[in-house]
Amino acid sequence: MGPPDQPTVRKDGLQLNEHRRFQERFWTIERIAWCAFALIIVAGLLGAFGSGGPLATKVTVIDRAIVEHPRIGRWEGTDEMMVRFRPDPSARTRSLFLSNSFAEVFQVEDIQPLPVRTVIEGSGQRLFFDNPGRDGGMVTLHLRAQSAGTASFSVGIDSELVSLSSFIFP
């Protein structure tokens, strides 16, 4: 048997047997993957996959209140929905209506402050709160998503009804 095949000496003086085109393609694919992973991390930090961040929360402004609810959530994860009532010194109580479709998607674990009374209606439930005075007041609902997918539901403030939606990741 003769000596093993030896690679030729390249112009840079190295005696290597490598597939340069393959290596350059591999480096290009590797850099593209790094960029993709960096974008996924930034999207996660911004809340694109739920659990906090500016993309995970949506603020809806209506005449009677400002509703901040989860735009993107996680199944069995905790979220908050905050309702900031606009000032109405003539009203003794303020009401928050949650539709039946809201109850199908979210379990309400806690409400701060607690409602003074709750009325069950055919299309949902209405929570009544004492009017806290000049600043309008705020109600926070601590929620847990019960199913994954797109959810559409209605929320009402006093007599004003608004349709909202959320996407729940599995």
Helix locations, 68-148, DSSP H: 100-105
pLDDT in tens, 39-87: 999 998 888 887 777 888 899 998 889 999 999 988 888 889 999 988 8
CA distance 80 to 69: 7
Contact call for residues 123 and 66 (beta carbons, < 8 A)? no
Q: How confident is the model at residue 131, as a pLDDT? A: 74
Domain limits, the chain: 18-47, 57-169
Which residue type occupies 55? L
Please give the helix or strand (H or E) that residue 26 lies within, else none: helix 20-46
Q: Could you tell me the CA-to-CA distances from 74 to 10, 95, 105 in Å, in that order? A: 56, 28, 11
CA distance 64 to 87: 8
CA 10 to chain centre: 56
CATH number 2.40.50.100 is the correct assignment for the domain at 57-169: no
Whose CA is closest to 111, among 122, 92, 126? 126
Ramachandran sector of residue 149 (left: φ over 0; alpha: ψ -120 to 50; beta: rest): left
Question: Consecutive 10-residue runs of the chain (170 residues): their mean pLDDT?
Answer: 68 75 93 96 87 84 90 89 86 89 92 91 90 76 92 90 91
